[in-house]
Chain A
Amino acid sequence: MRPALSTFVALLCLVLILPIGIVIVLAFSGGTFLKFPPDSYSLRWFIAFLGDERWRASLWSSLEIAVIACAVATLTGFGASYALVRGSFRLKKLVLSLSLLPIIAPTIVTSIAMYYVAARLHLVGSLVWVGLCHAVIALPVVLLILIAALQSVDPDLERAALSLGCGRLRMLRKVVVPLALHGIVSAALFAFLTSFDELVIALFLTDASTQTLPVRIWNSLHLEVEPTIAAVSAFLIGVTGLVLALDALLRRRARVG
Chain B
Amino acid sequence: MRGAPPDRSVLLLLPALLILALIFLLPLLWFFVRTLLVEIEPAKLPALFASVLSSRPMRIALVTTLWISLVVTAVTLMLGYPLAYYLASRSGIRFSLVIFCVIVPYFTSIIVRTYAWMVLLGRNGVVNQLLLGAGLVARPLPLLYNLLGVVIGMTYVLLPYMVLTLYAAMKGIDPSLLRAARGLGAGRFYAFRRVYLPLSLHGIVSGSLIVLIVSIGFFITPALMGGAGDVTVAMLVERAIEILIDWPSAAIMSLVLLAATLVLYALYGRLTDVRAMLEA
Q: Which residues of A come within 8 Å of B, CB atoms? A: 1, 5-6, 8-9, 12-17, 19-20, 22-23, 26, 34-36, 72, 75-77, 79-80, 82-89, 92-93, 95-102, 104-110, 112-117, 132-133, 135-136, 139, 143-144, 147-148, 151, 155, 158-159, 162-163, 168, 190, 193, 196-197, 199-200, 214, 217-218, 221, 225, 229-230, 233, 236-237, 240-241, 243-244
**Which secondary structure characterizes the binding site on chain A?**
helix
Using known A-B contacts A20-B104, A108-B234, determine if residue A155 contacts B13 with beta carbons closer than 8 Å: no
Contact assessment for B101 and A13 in the assembled complex, using a CB-CB cutoff below 8 Å: yes
Contact assessment for A199 and B109 in the assembled complex, using a CB-CB cutoff below 8 Å: yes
Q: Which of B81-120 contact A (CB under 8 A)?
A: 82-83, 85-86, 97-98, 100-105, 107-113, 115-120
Stretch from B51-59, B196-204, B212-220 that touches the partner: B212-220
Chain B min CB distance to A45 (Å): 13
Q: Is B16 interfacial (CB 8 A cutoff)? A: yes
Residues of A contacting B176 in the complex (Cβ-Cβ under 8 angstroms): none
Contact assessment for A96 and B278 in the assembled complex, using a CB-CB cutoff below 8 Å: yes
Contact assessment for B107 and A113 in the assembled complex, using a CB-CB cutoff below 8 Å: no
Q: What mask results when residues 11 to 53 of chain B are scored 1 for a CB within 8 Å of chain A, else 0?
A: 1111111111001101110111011000000000000000000
Contact assessment for B16 and A214 in the assembled complex, using a CB-CB cutoff below 8 Å: no
Residues of A contacting B277 in the complex (Cβ-Cβ under 8 angstroms): 96, 144, 147
Nearest B residue (CB) for A13: B101
Q: How long is the Cα–Cα vector from A151 to B278 in the complex, in angstroms? A: 8
Residues of A contacting B269 in the complex (Cβ-Cβ under 8 angstroms): 97
Contact assessment for B24 and A106 in the assembled complex, using a CB-CB cutoff below 8 Å: no
Contact assessment for A34 and B119 in the assembled complex, using a CB-CB cutoff below 8 Å: yes
Cβ-closest 5 pairs across A and B: A106-B217, A197-B109, A80-B16, A79-B12, A19-B116
Contacts A225-B122, A241-B104 aside, 8 further interface pairs with beta carbons under 8 A come to A6-B86, A36-B129, A79-B15, A80-B13, A83-B10, A99-B20, A233-B115, A240-B108
Contact assessment for B217 and A236 in the assembled complex, using a CB-CB cutoff below 8 Å: no
Which of B11, B97, B241, B258 is within 8 Å of A106, CB to CB?
Answer: B258
Contact assessment for A23 and B116 in the assembled complex, using a CB-CB cutoff below 8 Å: yes
Residues of B contacting A104 in the complex (Cβ-Cβ under 8 angstroms): 213, 261-262, 265
Q: How long is the Cα–Cα vector from A36 to B127 in the complex, in angstroms? A: 9
Contact assessment for B217 and A76 in the assembled complex, using a CB-CB cutoff below 8 Å: no
Using known A-B contacts A82-B9, A96-B278, determine if residue A162 contacts B2 with beta carbons closer than 8 Å: yes
Which of B13, B31, B113, B216 is within 8 Å of A113, CB to CB?
Answer: B31
Residues of B contacting A105 in the complex (Cβ-Cβ under 8 angstroms): 28, 217, 258, 261-262
Contact assessment for A79 and B115 in the assembled complex, using a CB-CB cutoff below 8 Å: no
Contact assessment for B31 and A217 in the assembled complex, using a CB-CB cutoff below 8 Å: no
Q: How long is the Cα–Cα vector from A26 to B112 in the complex, in angstroms? A: 13
Q: How long is the Cα–Cα vector from A148 to B279 in the complex, in angstroms? A: 9
In the assembled complex, 26 residue pairs joining A and B whose CB atoms fall closer than 8 Å, in A order, are A13-B98, A16-B104, A16-B105, A19-B156, A23-B116, A79-B15, A92-B275, A95-B17, A97-B269, A101-B265, A105-B217, A107-B217, A108-B217, A109-B28, A109-B237, A114-B23, A114-B27, A116-B35, A117-B26, A133-B23, A143-B16, A159-B2, A159-B4, A159-B5, A218-B224, A229-B115
Using known A-B contacts A112-B241, A162-B5, A221-B224, determine if residue A12 contacts B16 with beta carbons closer than 8 Å: no
Q: How long is the Cα–Cα vector from A76 to B24 in the complex, in angstroms? A: 15
Contact assessment for A89 and B28 in the assembled complex, using a CB-CB cutoff below 8 Å: no
Q: Is B179 interfacial (CB 8 A cutoff)? A: no
Q: How long is the Cα–Cα vector from A229 to B114 in the complex, in angstroms? A: 12
Q: Is B137 interfacial (CB 8 A cutoff)? A: no
Contact assessment for A221 and B27 in the assembled complex, using a CB-CB cutoff below 8 Å: no
Contact assessment for B107 and A80 in the assembled complex, using a CB-CB cutoff below 8 Å: no
Nearest A residue (CB) for B16: A80
Using known A-B contacts A106-B257, A110-B24, determine if residue A117 contacts B30 with beta carbons closer than 8 Å: yes
Chain A min CB distance to B221 (Å): 11
Q: Is B67 interfacial (CB 8 A cutoff)? A: no
Residues of B contacting A87 in the complex (Cβ-Cβ under 8 angstroms): 5, 7, 9-10, 12-13
Q: How long is the Cα–Cα vector from A229 to B23 in the complex, in angstroms? A: 32
